[in-house]
Amino acid sequence: MQSFEIELNEIRVKIEKALDDFLPKSDEYPPKIHEAMRYSTFNGGKRIRPILTIKAAELFGLPGEKVLPTACGIEMIHTYSLIHDDLPAMDNDDFRRGKPTCHKVFGEAVALLAGDALLTLAFKTIAKNAEIEGISLKAVMDVIDRISLASGSLGMIGGQTVDILSEGIKIDERTLLYIDNHKTGCLIRASLWSGARLAEAPASELDKIDQLGKKIGLIFQIVDDLLDLHGDEKKLGKPVGSDVRNKKSTFLSVYGYEKSRELVKVLSNEAKEMAREFKNSSFLMQLIDFLVERQH
């Protein structure tokens, strides 16, 4: 596990550097919006989605550095979604990763605009992948199409909408799975798929890695639900129990704590079996364990 953690940190350093290069500098006019974009982007994120993009590309023989524009674009989309999630009109959270949320520091209007700016910049950044040697323009176009779908009303935003509309009411298993497969799962699936597509993976392999992404997305969300109720506030960097306060429908509210924990074990075993079908997938399997065991 030590070598895995070393590699994980090395990839994160590369992502952080690339994000720093792609984002406007803090003093670029108008500075307030760029300060807000950078504040939330460099607020201690785990960088799971860009890591998945990089490792998926490597599974099919493409050096991870070549997909950094797409990996960073996906992270910008993720960051924008968190800024908006934290707003009073959404989850009304004051802290994220132990620091005040964007709107608490910069005000609601600037936070809203910072999220908008990150979403817009994300696609400009992804398009830069067409300038990288060995990457086909068609692959980049396919990736932009896929990430747009995963981020919009038929993907992440669709899941967030149903999540908000389901607050305070009892929902069935089908609705819960829709929320989590879209709110969280779609962008995680797109992260893996995009790395593989840029590496020119065959259609059959793209289908396999997409299904693996679906499993990983569910694992990630269920663990989030578990941590929200039973996590360590110091490690989480925010108060626990926000889902209960906001009357959110979660895996715990539908299945209960023990069944949710068991479901994580089942899904992680299934995900690792799927990952074994790819050559050189040991890092990916260790990453699945890392997501299951994470404390924040």
DSSP sequence for 240-271:
S-HHHHTT---HHHHH-HHHHHHHHHHHHHHH
Helix axes 282-293 and 203-230, enclosed angle (nearest 10): 20
Mean pLDDT of 108-117: 98
Q: What is the pLDDT of residue 88?
A: 95
Considering just the CA atoms, what is the radius of gyration of the chain in Å?
18
pLDDT digits 0-9 by tens, 34-66: 999 999 999 988 999 999 999 999 999 999 999
pLDDT digits 0-9 by tens, 139-179: 999 999 999 999 999 999 999 999 999 988 888 889 999 99
Q: Which domains does the chain have, with CATH numbers?
A: 2-293 (1.10.600.10)
Q: E-assigned strands of the chain?
A: 95-96, 99-100
3-state helix, strand, coil in the chain (%, to 5): 75, 0, 25
Q: Which of 98, 124, 112, 42 is nearest to 234 (CA)?
A: 98
State the burial class of residue 240 (Cβ atoms within 10 Å of its Cβ: 0-12, 13-18, 19+). middle
Q: Using CA atoms, how far apart are residues 150 and 153, in angstroms rounded to an integer?
A: 8
Q: Which of 32, 70, 31 is nearest to 49 (CA)?
A: 70
| Reported pTM | 0.94
